[in-house]
Structure 1
């Protein structure tokens, strides 16, 4: 039976694979087109998004064979959102580091995202 939680896992898995492919294969496009939009975005408002995604991952964990991994991703997302809200200055430094990172870093992180997204999709 397909539930809302299953659809969320499909959505997040596909999102991670597509985003990872974009970062791995076209890091310049990712930097110049998409990440520039996030450069001036307020972190306190954006921090709500990973918190919501983390809660949804925790709720959806029972619909995946790799429950512990999904729970870990959910907890990390909630932590990231909380840090965006509470420690904005430190997160801004981290965000600035990402904008200055080399294409190799983007490719490595993109590959990691493809693997994580694939694991989420395989586990459904």
Structure 2
């Protein structure tokens, strides 16, 4: 789903359960800010890599390393590829990339593994596509 569709779903749910519109705009804006927070974080994280002259906090550097590591490993690991593509297309939460089984692959898999020797490795299966 795109951000607009996700926000429309929230709006519909709030309108069907709200008895009064007092304070409704503020509550709605707070809800949709939660939807966009991860997306803005990921976009800003990538943009910070292009600003080498600025002091970068450790958490940002760790996030950049983690996403770069994903991009290094996904050509040879179909499980990582599926989870990454689902996240990039907003079918899964970015938090799905922090699943313990995937985290271990990112931390300990060698990127020197040749594609011909790469096999799909078991990990958490992605959730089914929405219908």
TM-score normalised over the length of structure 1: 0.30
Higher helix share: 1
Higher RCO (C-alpha 8 Å, min separation 6):
1
Over alpha carbons, which structure has the higher Rg?
2
